[in-house]
Amino acid sequence: MNKRKEDFELEDGACFPGKTYVDELLKPVFKDQRDYLFDAMFMIHRAHTTMLKEQKIITAGEAKKILEGVNEVAKMEKKLLNYVPEYEDFFFLVEAEVAKVIGDDLAGKMHIAKSRNDMGEAMYRIVIRDHILDLLGNVKKLGQSLVIQAEDHIYTVMPAHTHTQPAQPTTFGHYLLAISDNLSRDVDRLWQAYHTVNRSPMGAAAITTTGFPISRERMVELLGFDDVMENSYDAIGTGDYLLETALTLVSLMTNMGRWIQELLRMASNEVGLLKVSDAYVQVSSIMPQKRNPVSLEHSRALASSAVGEGLSVIQMIHNTPYGDIVDTEDDLQPHLYNGFHKANRVTKLLTAVITTMKFNKARALQQAKTNMITITELADVLARDYDIPFRRAHQISSYVSKKASDAKKELYEVSLSEVNEWISGVQLSEKDWEHIVDPSKFIERRNITGGPNPQVVERMVRDREVRWEELGEKVEKYAAQIDSIKDDLIKL
């Protein structure tokens, strides 16, 4: 016999479960199940036992004793529950603990018409819906902070950028509302994910339902799901609720990461537009003059890390056979939970930063007067008021900007006589030229739906205030319903 193999088996074991298997798989999986799924498991035990009683599959007396045993074990400090080799996973250990209270036969009846498969899928869905609601609540606070700041900066002129270059004047309020609207679409995606997640697989059992006359619909009611996963194969084999949740997390954190980077640019001394509160900056250990906006830096890093967690979920499901994937999910679920944890950290940090930040209005206005970013208005005025074809007007404006650049002047430094000489054939009025070089007038004229005109932005602010308030009310309503379901199950 191979001596190395013999020595290894002597230490690791030659029958299930080997020591390596225990240390590297069973123990970590057990810990994750215990830490994340404890409450959800007991919710399902209570609901399923109640349904079995109502369907007369077990007697009222049996149900009473089972529920007493379940409630007794549920009171245990979960950290005291540790992996032991006699039980393959947390599922079987809990059954054993209940059996200690009510006996093996009754504890076994608790699992009539129930499998680790449908129970596992249901536990995951219960936990994920809680995470989604929690994140929605924090996103709502972030959205409100954006709109509150936007309201304070309806008239705060600043340069907008395209291709990372100064493009046209806008307002900081207009900019913040853009972020708010982007965030609100991720809210829509989170709600869609919530409703995809919040469907009951219970009663699918292993994969083909059961011969017992259970009521899958009653389990929907007892556990607070929206609906039943009707096809039992789909209920066990699907992973799309995980994909949708992961992709939504990726979308939210990717979108946030982009404007976090923008805020960091604005907070640099060179740009000098944004000042992060002293509460959220750190001073360099060697350079005392520095105010490092580490709250934004950490938010950016955490957002990227959360994206990684979501992408890991997608990779783990990719090419997984269409059937029971509970074993895959045992290692997959923590990535989702960690992703939500990081997303909540990012959202809370950003809410604090945005609520307390200061914006340098004077510097922003000065920047909006530079780089000739109002030149678009010259083309518009020529086309609209002087009947010059727009393409020609655009060429004239381009020529004016080149001449001003060659003269090392900003537009507002160019005299009316100079510009009229450059454009030739057209004589602008003094009022027209003053308005063309004024970023505030540029903004005022952009009064089309969604533009930066202050009245337009103010209307959008009012609308967004209502939207974020309604989101808060909706999250509270759903969370209260889930809490009520949990309380009702404990009282059974």
pLDDT in tens, 418-435: 999 999 888 999 999 999
- How many percent of the chain have pLDDT more than 90? 82
Token pair for 150: 């936007």
Is 171 a residue whose pLDDT tops 80? yes
Is 137 a residue whose pLDDT tops 90? yes
Q: Crossing angle for the helix pair 375-385 and 390-406, nearest 10 degrees?
A: 140
Q: From CA 112, how far away is CA 388, in angstroms rounded?
A: 82
* Closest C-alpha to 112, from 215, 209, 212: 212
Q: What is the pLDDT of residues 336-349, one digit of tens each?
A: 999 999 999 999 99
Token pair for 165: 């270059």
Is 396 a residue whose pLDDT tops 70? yes
Q: Please give the C-alpha separations between residue 426 and each of 290, 387, 422, 423, 432, in angstroms, as whole numbers.
A: 52, 10, 10, 7, 12
Is 1 a residue whose pLDDT tops 60? no
Cβ–Cβ under 8 Å, residues 204 and 117: yes
Cβ–Cβ under 8 Å, residues 435 and 447: no
- Helix, coil or strand: residue 440: helix
Q: For 196-220, what is the mean pLDDT? A: 97
Q: From CA 292, how far away is CA 273, in angstroms rounded?
A: 15
Q: What is the pLDDT of residue 329?
A: 80
Q: From CA 145, how far away is CA 351, in angstroms rounded?
A: 6
How many other CB atoms are there within 10 angstroms of residue 348's CB atom?
14
What residues are paired with 359 via a beta bridge? Answer: 274
Query: Is residue 290 very low, low, confident or very high in pLDDT (cuts 50, 70, 90)?
Result: confident
Q: What is the pLDDT of residue 288?
A: 79
Q: What is the pLDDT of residue 10?
A: 86
Q: For 247-267, what is the mean pLDDT? A: 97
Kind and range of the H or E run holding 170: strand 165-171
Dihedral through CA 381, CA 384, CA 387, CA 388, nearest 10?
Answer: 60
Q: For 8-22, what is the mean pLDDT? A: 87
Q: What is the pLDDT of residue 456?
A: 98
- Strand bridging mode 199-200 / 227-228: parallel
Q: From CA 407, how far away is CA 414, in angstroms rounded?
A: 9
Q: What is the pLDDT of residues 62-108, one digit of tens each?
A: 999 999 999 999 998 888 888 888 887 888 888 899 999 999 999 99
Token pair for 144: 């409100």
Token pair for 336: 């989702």
Q: What is the pLDDT of residue 26?
A: 86
Q: From CA 152, how far away is CA 465, in angstroms rounded?
A: 13
Kind and range of the H or E run holding 244: helix 240-267
Q: What is the pLDDT of residues 210-236, one digit of tens each?
A: 999 999 999 999 999 999 999 999 999
Q: Crossing angle for the helix pair 172-197 and 240-267, nearest 10 degrees?
A: 160
Write down the mean pLDDT value for the chain: 94
Token pair for 322: 């269409």
DSSP 413: G
Q: What is the pLDDT of residues 32-61, one digit of tens each?
A: 888 999 999 999 999 999 999 999 999 999
